[in-house]
Structure 1
Amino acid sequence: MMADHFKVKPLPYAYDKLDGISKQTNTYHHDTHYAGYVKKRNEILDKLAAVDRSLANANYSEFGGMKRHETFNAGGQLLHELFWDVLGGDGKPTGEVLRHIEKSFGSFEKWVEDFRASAMVALGWVVLAWDPTDDNLYNFTGDAHNQGGVWGTFPLLAIDVYEHAYYHDQGPARAKYIEAYLKNINWSEVNRRYRIFSKITGEFRASC
């Protein structure tokens, strides 16, 4: 019997809460796509407990296949949780994150311009992340759940640009979906994450 190492988190608001992202899209996206990544991650973890590691090699092995799919499904789980956690707001930027965006991009409008462009070219995700090594924020693109992430940075928000996130509502008009995402950002939640990461960053620098 498969163990529930990870559980599907409920959507943090009603399925019909988001302006421009329909109840049906949220239902498909959360209950099928996201839940599927959680299920497969649990399944892989169970199988990893019993796989023969002595046969591992760089060409092909059962262990290698599992490890690659482990990162894909783990990324799919965690990125989707971040995606929904930072939505449900009014899209109006405030607080420490706004000031840091202005520092890193010159203005909020320039960040939006860069974010829109990044979301148009990415095949999977765009993540606004804080790089503590130079204290700047960046919009990083990723073409898969396990590709494009920059280790050592702190993710503040994420947009899913796989077609399943918007085709039911906007068809191929991805730009309309990006605008819907921007006007639903919960900047209070983004600021909450920022404060947590700020504390971690401060402690890290103090220890160096």
Structure 2
Amino acid sequence: MLQLLGATAGIAAVGVEDALAVGTESSKNDRYTLPPLPYDYDALAPAIDEQIMRLHHDKHHQGYVDGANEALDKLDTMRQKDRFNSIKPIKRDLSFNVSGHILHSVFWESMSPNGGGRPAGGLATALERDFGSVDGAIAEFCTAAKNVESSGWGLLVYDHLADRLLVTQAEAHNDLAVQGATPLLVIDVWEHAYYLQYTNDRGAYVDAFLDVVDWETVRSRYEAVTSSNVWI
């Protein structure tokens, strides 16, 4: 079941149920946890190989979860002491790590071993309306992802205010975010997402990503956010 994860640095995401789960300590029952992959580590090969998936999910994504929880712990300590003189870097860390956690949670569910093909239903209609054609929307998404400056993400998002789809970029995880927009499809273009397999050929990685996109999940996200009348 799709679930609204929340909004951090302007990113409201529909994603994995387990991304925010109850912790083992009663005082930390609001902490983030790493969601399991919805498929085996080698299930997306040859588009994305097993080694990358293990490192990316178990090490990198876990790092963002740990970083988010560390920031929450520091904020708890500051509240207890009623001292907020060093709050700026902690808030920066919170934004970076929670945004990274949310985007990765959406990323895993954006892919499937049975992916590929083309968008259908109301999603296809919306892509044609907002981009001129489905092919045009996919081309814009891929081009945006390939041209993210340094490390970041390519995103297809739903803008609740304008009731339309947009293709956007994110630098790092939280810069260039469109406030209040919900990610429907995301691709991680940090080098850790592809370098071991594609070296510096980000373009080949983005093209291969299309072979594993789970358009049915993307369509379900679109239908969920457009029927809920909830945005910010």
Q: TM-score, normalised by structure 2?
A: 0.80
Q: 1:179 to 1:53 in 2, by over 3 A?
A: farther
Which of 144, 160, 170 is the matching residue for 1:118?
A: 144
CA RMSD in angstroms comes to 1.8
1:151 equivalenced with 2:176 (yes/no): no
The one of 68, 91, 101 aligned to 1:67: 91
- The corresponding residue for 2:104 is 80
Going by fraction, where is strand more abundant, 1 or 2? 2
- CA distance in structure 1 between the partners assigned to 2:195 and 2:49 by the alignment: 11
Question: Which amino acid letter does the alignment assign opposite residue 98 of structure 2?
Answer: A
CA drift of 1:96 comes to: 1.4
**What is the TM-score when the length of structure 1 is the normalising length?**
0.89
Of 19, 24, 32 in structure 1, the residue corresponding to residue 59 of structure 2 is: 32
Identity %: 36
**Mind listing any 5+ residue stretches in structure 1 that lack a counterpart?**
none
Q: Does 1:49 align with 2:76?
A: yes
How far apart, CA to CA, are the structure 2 residues paired with 1:99 and 1:36?
38
Query: Does residue 16 of the first structure (1) align with residue 55 of the second (2)?
Result: no
Mapped contact 2:142–2:154 kept (Cα < 8 A) = no
- Hey, which of these two has a bigger chunk of helix by percent? 1
Instruction: Note the alpha carbon deviations across 1:82-138, whole angstroms, 9 max, x for none.
Output: 011110142122221111111111111111211121011113011100112222211
> Residue 90 of structure 1: which of 87, 104, 115 is its match?
115
Structure 2: gaps of 5 or more residues: 1-24
Q: How many Å apart are 1:53 and its aligned residue?
A: 5.1
Q: Kindly tell me the number of residue pairs found equivalent between the two proteins.
A: 198
Which stretch shows the higher mean deviation, 64-73 or 145-154?
145-154
